[in-house]
């Protein structure tokens, strides 16, 4: 195997949320437009066995253990595409590859990422569902490559870019394209809850219930819960009134799902991971 020049080779991940949203192609386009070419790859079909080693710095100095467990929710969504990408710009200054790629992906919080970055232009959901990961330094790339690839460091991309595009097409073909952002998920949840209790509302309550366009307005969930018979004592009141934002009261979604089941309702995997992570990490909202 040709020796890897870590000063210009970066560990780059397309996590399950990127595959769920069929964003791998656009991300690869942005990489290539900025002079980065994938040279090695692998598909991780399950949670990486050495994931705790990868997240060690966050676990010990940034996140609480409960926050870290949100990573498991993301990896439970499906496969991850791991890449080594090489900076092939002839005019790139030595030692700048990781910095350039970090700038291209944008801030971890998509709401703080600048226009023209991957996370802003392709609209990451929140810090946990932020479409891509790349290592911050040559040392991090070497360490994280061993975590995600193992000692073999993945498969060489002998077939060139077309080989990787074919693989991405196969991976995404087996996954219905997910288009819902945070506001869409919140609207959908509140819509099906209101529909489920429609016959329990008084005629006046049905008149006061907002249409779809108003279901993400701050405070509307609490207003809807107040219309329910029994008010806050209603089985769905807590779920209906929850804003699913860090600075608001949180809810146990597992218990909420049990209450929903009585009404024949469910939370799908995407709804669950978006709502669960957005209670901890602020989501990117629509203007």
Catalytic residue ranges: 133
Q: What share of the chain is helix, strand, coil (3-state, %, to 5)?
A: 50, 10, 40
Strand order in the sheet with 155-156: 133-134, 9-14, 80-87, 36-44, 155-156
How many angstroms separate the Cα of 285 from the Cα of each of 80, 129, 196, 229?
25, 14, 26, 31
Alpha helices in 34-159 (DSSP H): 51-54, 56-61, 65-75, 97-105, 118-121, 138-149
- Phi, psi (5° rounding) for residue 139? -65, -40
Closest-CA residue to 148 (of 40, 18, 273): 40
């Amino acid at each position: 195997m040709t020796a890897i020049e870590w000063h210009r080779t970066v560990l780059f991940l397309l996590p399950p949320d990127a595959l769920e949203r069929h964003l791998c192609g656009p991300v690869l386009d942005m990489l290539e437009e900025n002079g980065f070419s994938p040279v090695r790859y692998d598909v991780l079909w399950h949670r990486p066995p050495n994931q705790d080693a990868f997240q060690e710095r966050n676990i010990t100095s940034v996140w609480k253990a409960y926050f870290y467990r949100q990573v498991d929710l993301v990896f439970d969504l499906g496969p991850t595409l791991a890449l080594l990408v090489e900076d092939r710009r002839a005019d790139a200054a030595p030692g700048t590859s990781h910095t350039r790629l970090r700038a291209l992906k944008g801030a971890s919080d998509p709401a703080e990422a600048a226009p023209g970055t991957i996370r802003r232009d392709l609209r990451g959901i929140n810090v946990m569902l932020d479409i891509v990961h790349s290592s911050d330094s040559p040392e991090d790339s070497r360490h994280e490559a061993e975590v995600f690839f193992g000692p073999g460091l993945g498969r060489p991309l002998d077939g060139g870019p077309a080989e990787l595009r074919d693989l991405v097409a196969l991976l995404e073909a087996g996954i219905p394209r997910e288009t819902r952002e945070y506001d869409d998920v919140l609207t959908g949840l509140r819509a099906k809850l209101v529909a489920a209790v429609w016959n329990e509302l008084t005629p006046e309550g049905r008149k006061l219930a907002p249409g779809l366009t108003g279901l993400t307005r701050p405070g509307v969930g609490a207003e809807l819960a107040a219309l329910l018979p029994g008010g806050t004592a209603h089985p769905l009141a807590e779920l209906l009134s929850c804003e699913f934002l860090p600075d608001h009261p949180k809810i146990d979604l597992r218990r909420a799902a049990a209450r929903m089941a009585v009404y024949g309702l469910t939370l799908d995997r995407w709804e669950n991971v978006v709502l669960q992570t957005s209670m901890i990490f602020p989501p990117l909202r629509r203007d």
